[in-house]
Structure 1
């Protein structure tokens, strides 16, 4: 982050404040800090706190009125000042909003691999890590670069001195953001740009595990699955049934969500009124029964929502009841940020960031690797090799319903064995409805092959 020098505008708790920006003037070429926003999108309020090494302000989004705190830092050079700097950061935690972001040049590293030589202050590094833990902050990973500063000398030293730290509340309110580097230009620091990821949402079908526990699930599957299909091709028939079932389930759950939200609002309002009445008098037996019923209903709705986010978080090692929805939400967001590819370079060195251009580069790359099908001009004379043919007639024997059932019930419940989006849980829950069509389909052998290859390594 570049050094900033500015003239004095007005004084406010140690920092300067002007129309929609706050700053701390530089001392020569060092120590300048600026927080500024576009008038069209946000408002910067008066500084909350300030010291020699940072300023903190409140940012208010004009579009929705939400507010969050931002602290911009310029870390000191001397070890004694670094200790004071970290103490001041701890002190302001009680002053800022739950949604808090800290960014800038910390002049500190938190691990050995953040510096290119062995001249490291282990004790100061430990203090920095403890401060991050005490403030309950997490770092947004910088894509594309390991270091953010270099001394630009012959024996170059690289360090990661600049970073962006956020609270869980800030991450939950600002989903799908990534941190990317820019050219150092005239500075010895690498500018970092925090921007929203360009994500192309999957428009296909994905079966959600929570559907299987919702009332009316099997009825919708049976209604969609048993519709007549005018085709004698078993594979096309099965494909049509799966497609119809997917469409029916999506429509059913969309309507179910509307009803659930309405029920949740009504339940909360009735419980609130009963809470108020309880402060003035004893509730009747029927009122207490109603209150317990509504609370149980809300717990059920919360459990379904937690199950949905657990599936999106892809955490197979933890049970849904062992963590709350926010935990799974954060993990899902972190996985999305980690798996996102911010940019790709083509063979001629052009870097692209938009989704379609990245897709074209990947297609061209793998098409070149796989090559094209050629015409064979020579063949093998199998008769001259005197190889005794193997009797593979048993491979053509139709498999039984017991074999198919064993293969399906051996699949992992939260994984989809094919590209149709239906997980193993769907096939297990709907076995009595769908098994006859699975038995008729020629590619049902796939389930048996999957079980033989992987079934003994996984649990249902």
Structure 2
């Protein structure tokens, strides 16, 4: 099922009966579409309470009030993004049928399981009944107050019978933990700061697009194209020199890479698109020749397009070949597909085998290091001996005892500093 990008937050807040928690809550759920709050400890939940806790955009909600000093579930959603045609409230859960604007529909059940072991089998049976009634996708989120493994328990009071029952329930219902990294690469599940609670809220983004900035790739055929050296020289000398040679080198390389990228788009462009466009125009001229003779201008353009297709095909093959970094196939012995297949199988680390500067050539590691150092020293300059020095002792500045800086900070000092912040 294709799901649009929506942020869903599930959080055991451990009580919302403190007014100061409202501001922290609103800043956390500002970008969320659906919010599930567990253990709200609120006996009465209305629209005013929802607006004060979550903000004005959460205009719809379903709540299970608390009974006593524990429990309470709130499920709120942005009514401009999703709607809930049906919902159900029971002793341990709130179930809502979510329908988003794109037509995606699925059932969300927010649970807060009982702490009494005698009620836990009944709780699991109710969830089984919910799953049987759900025809589409089903998501369960919340605090089951059950564990799957002994390592999940903070003490040695482990009810292994209930742990086994919970495992059987998960297997029977085919429930999986939302580890989205491998099974759903477009989704994201992460824990946020616990801030106002001792439980971390979980944020699930249902369809995240990770945009990675494209890297600069130097093409070996560029130096053979007219205008390449002018672009490099112009971009390299376009920046004023910096005092720090490393910063100077970084900025010049960055400017040169940007200039070459723009120059490549203007000079070469998208080869496949150009070939498709040229072939389409040639086809139009071929169809016109069946009914009438071409004019002199059309004939000239058709010849130029055919030359263009041949040139682009040769350039495309050259690009694939230089990415492969092999030269043993002779002309006509391998197609572009061969180079692409061979390049996809290559797992070779980048390595410089030799450097050449003028007539000199270096192949050893020490020789290449010396040649590269001499080359960039000629561009960036070498450090010179200073003719003047500053004698700080002659200034007769007051002495400062720095021995205390090595003394470890005491716990009392750190705690007093934190309280004074």
- TM-score scaled by structure 1? 0.37
Query: Could you tell me the TM-score, scaled by structure 2's length?
Result: 0.40
Q: Larger radius of gyration, structure 1 or 2?
A: 2
